[in-house]
Amino acid sequence: MDKLKLVFVDTYKNGPDNLDYVFKADAIELCELFTLDGQDGVDLTTIGDYSGYDYAVVTIVERDFEKIKGVLSRLGLTSDKLIFLSLDEIICDDFEKVRGYFLDEYLEMMKYKKVKMKYESNIMGEYALVTVEDLSYVNIASDDTIMVEMYNKKENFSKDSIDAFYELGNKYFSFSDKQDLFCDIGANIGTTSIYFKKKLDNSVKILAFEPARMNHKLYRVNAILNDINDDELTLAKYAVSDERAICKFEYSATNPGGSGLISGWETDVSVEEVETIPFDEYVEENGIDINRIKWVWIDVEGFEPAFFKGARKTLSSINVPIIFEYSPKLYRETGRWDEFKELLFEMYTSFLIMQEGGDKIHPMQDITYYENFDFQLDIMLFKA
């Protein structure tokens, strides 16, 4: 790829602070920025001649392309050299020709903004509705994670992970006719268990735990929208832990799925009090036959050590597909990693990392290799 001479033309004083963020640095010989404010009144002689530049990248708010083209042509920047960046897309007659000069992260950011703007145009009031794969979900309008992703991909949130969990579960585990419970620990608004029941295993009944007031309410709405009857769903308003208590729960309005009992995980949160209960106690008090449990999906934003400790008796007595979001950074910060590690060694012999995209099974001791990682992994657990 030949080196480029680029000029970044900022028409509304909002150009990027670091042009290397927009363009691949190794593709640039020269990159300059000037502001073109008030296109008709600008003194072009103070700007200079840019006819020797390969491309002009132009930020715009108003789509008055012809006016901008007219001004820039007098600077030696003809129409074939112009790449327009708007708030929601990149416009260029021959964009594929110049695509390689942009950073992939920037293109993804522009794509996300475009999708988000389209999604937000469909919001009415405090709530938003997205329909994917014949399933409908309502969430708060401020959510810019789950709903935007579904709107973008036109598929259920975490579809690939849920599908893989189902396929691997059927590959490595055997089930009896008695098993009919899908346990959704940290159920959020229901995108996991509702999808699982409606699209993968309609025979299951759902036992879901969701402590956050808004998420709990929206799960009920989504269950009704997707024709899940009361006898098919038990929705418990608890955070599942290793003790009974009243705890502070941080709710994120922009990422409700990231809400949880771990403080500081999300910014811009509201705090509410929730009741916690050990899974073992809930099962015993509600007369649940543990032999009915068929699937266990755990997503509790760093509170997994407390869940497993409080579910130790039940999980030690059954052998079913279990998946959890492994968050070693949070375990270290809360001082629970050593205890959790020993518990996993005691209860399980091996694990599979969903992000590896296959079915490579690792010995349980290998999980310590990832203990200093700062990102999350989806882990499926196995017994001998």
Whether residue 95 is found in the same domain as residue 135: no
Q: CA quadruple 227, 230, 233, 239: dihedral positive or negative?
A: positive
Residue 20 structure tokens? 């290397």
Whether residue 174 is found in the same domain as residue 269: yes
pLDDT at residue number 268? 63
pLDDT at residue number 38? 47
pLDDT at residue number 13? 54
Whether residue 131 is found in the same domain as residue 208: no
Whether residue 245 is found in the same domain as residue 344: yes
Q: CA quadruple 115, 118, 123, 128: dihedral positive or negative?
A: negative
Whether residue 71 is found in the same domain as residue 139: no
Whether residue 227 is found in the same domain as residue 357: yes
Whether residue 243 is found in the same domain as residue 274: yes
pLDDT means per 10 residues, the chain with 384 residues, are 69 54 60 56 59 77 67 81 65 60 65 64 77 93 84 90 97 97 97 98 98 93 97 96 89 62 58 92 98 97 92 98 92 90 97 90 94 85 93
Long-range contacts of 75-79, Cβ-Cβ distance < 8 Å, separation of 24 or more: 75/44, 75/47, 75/48, 75/49, 75/50, 75/51, 76/49, 76/50, 76/51, 76/52, 77/7, 77/9, 77/50, 77/51, 77/53
Whether residue 100 is found in the same domain as residue 146: no
Q: Count of domains in the chain?
A: 3
Whether residue 103 is found in the same domain as residue 172: no
- pTM of the shown model: 0.71
Whether residue 217 is found in the same domain as residue 142: no
Q: Which residues contact 375 (CB under 8 A, 6 or more apart)?
A: 329
Angle at 211 between CA 210 and CA 212, to 5 degrees: 100
Phi/psi of residue 260, nearest 5 degrees:
175, -175
Angle at 113 between CA 271 and CA 24, to 5 degrees: 115
User: CA 207 to CA 199: how far, in whole Å?
Assistant: 17
User: What domain range includes position 39?
Assistant: 4-118
CATH of the domain at 36: 3.40.50
Cβ neighbours around 140 below 10 Å, total: 18
Whether residue 236 is found in the same domain as residue 319: yes
Whether residue 46 is found in the same domain as residue 174: no
CATH of the domain at 209: 3.40.50.150
